[in-house]
Structure 1
Amino acid sequence: MRYGLSEMTDSTTSRGGKRERLVASAGELLHRQGVGATSLADIAHAADVPVGNVYYYFKTKDELVQAVIVAQVRQVEAMLTTLDALPRPAERLKALVQRWEEMSDIVARYGCPFGTLASELDRRDDGLDIEAAEPIRRILEWTEEQIRRLRRRGARELATILFAGVQGGALLANALRDPKVMSGQVRHLELWIDSLASKP
């Protein structure tokens, strides 16, 4: 099973119990509309759950946002586990950046699901701002490890450059509403990864 970014934001992948449907629908709506513009009633409607039942699972919208972040972390871990099955670090890194190309249309319309949520919550100081960065932190740590396996010095800095390239591509694609910007950036990053792998 592949875990692309589309699976991370598609509410149809978690149509199980009410709690799971609420978290999946919240993840999609928060990505498309933002935290401030999304109400618990919106989420309940999208999840096909009576509004009154939401409070059985989540006392506040913040609790539901936190559950979305936890779900994102789990989805990232599942994706990275899938990528670990590839034989070489450079292949794994290229497969990682290709996840954003697979979702270039959605990224061009709504931005990266991780970056947009982290950016929106960044102005808060209640802990959700730190938690929202966890999916990105996990990806960075994994990327650093892959670059280290390429025997490259400065693996942390190179991992940051790679993921900054992904996020920059997502930001520009979103600002310009042009999925080709994301695709072009992925091609550039793939060449850059090849250059890392080929240098002695």
Structure 2
Amino acid sequence: MTDSTDSRRPRTRAGGKRQQLTAAAARILHEQGVERTTIADIARAAEVPTGNVYYYFKTKDELIEAALSEHASHLKTLTDRLDLLPDPRERLKELIGAWVDGREVAARYGCPTGTLATELDKRAEGGLDVSAGLVIRKLLTWVEEQYRRLGVPDPEGHALALVGAYQGMSLLSNALRDPEIMTREGARLTRQLDSLV
């Protein structure tokens, strides 16, 4: 939902192999999907021997949960940075800008959290779909608060419309392999924000 291109590579900072595996899981699950991704794929991307994965994560579902946590962490990092801006309208415009900046990734793979939520919803077992929904809920809550601070009527409705527009433009950009959909729709969403009284 908010991954930058830098966050798409395994990290080697504090947290070591577990963090490398978590970052790799988020990236590979986004790129390949849940069903096509194996634990070996994630281990290879993290540059960790496959057998070592089981020391940190006992099942593929635990890796999926870790990937969702990684997406939530990226979202928190982004919203914390945006919260430093004094104006809620500027925060929302910068959020849209971050979405547009990720247009190449969205055109290739879709929204990281949105595509994962959709795929997890189709699985019979688990409950990980609920976990994915919680990450999206965090974004909705943050966006709603920005609209509330702007003083617009129905901040919840505005938040749903903005996040829904992002999901829609990510889906269309991916389906049509056209990153410029993100650019055009991002500009339209920014104009809408500017028109709010």
| TM-score normalised by L of structure 2 | 0.94
Cα deviations by residue, 1:17-39 (Å, 9 ceiling, x for unpaired): 11111111111101110011010
Report the counterpart of residue 150 of structure 1 in structure 2: 150
Q: Which residue of 1 aligns with 2:104?
A: 105
- Checking the alignment, whether the CA contact within 8 Å between 2:33 and 2:119 is kept in structure 1 is yes
Question: Aligned-pair distance for 1:58?
Answer: 0.6
Q: Which residue of 2 aligns with 1:66?
A: 65
Q: How does 1:13-92 map to 2 (within 5 A)?
A: 14-16=11-13, 17-92=16-91
Paired with 1:8 and 1:141, the residues of 2 have a C-alpha distance of 26
Moved beyond 3 Å, runs of 4+ = none
User: Could you tell me which residue of structure 2 aligns to residue 185 of structure 1?
Assistant: 185
Aligned CA-pair RMSD: 1.3
1:5 matched to which residue of 2? 3
- C-alpha displacement at 1:5, in angstroms? 2.3
Quick check: 2:26–2:67 contact (8 Å CA) kept in 1? yes
Tell me the number of residue pairs that the alignment of Structure 1 and Structure 2 aligns: 193
Task: Tell me the residue number matched to 2:172.
Answer: 172
Instruction: Give the fraction of aligned pairs with identical amino acids, expressed as a percent.
Output: 47
Partners of 2:68 and 2:7 lie apart in 1 by 12
Larger mean CA deviation between 70-79 and 178-187 belongs to 70-79
Q: Which amino acid aligns with 1:178?
A: D
CA contact (8 A) 1:121 1:129 kept: yes
Does the 8 Å CA contact 1:11/1:27 hold for their aligned counterparts? no
Give SS of 2:126's match.
coil
- Gaps of at least 5 residues in structure 1 are none
Give the partner amino acid of 2:12: R
Unaligned runs of 5+ in 2: none
Deviation at 1:9, TM superposition (A): 4.4
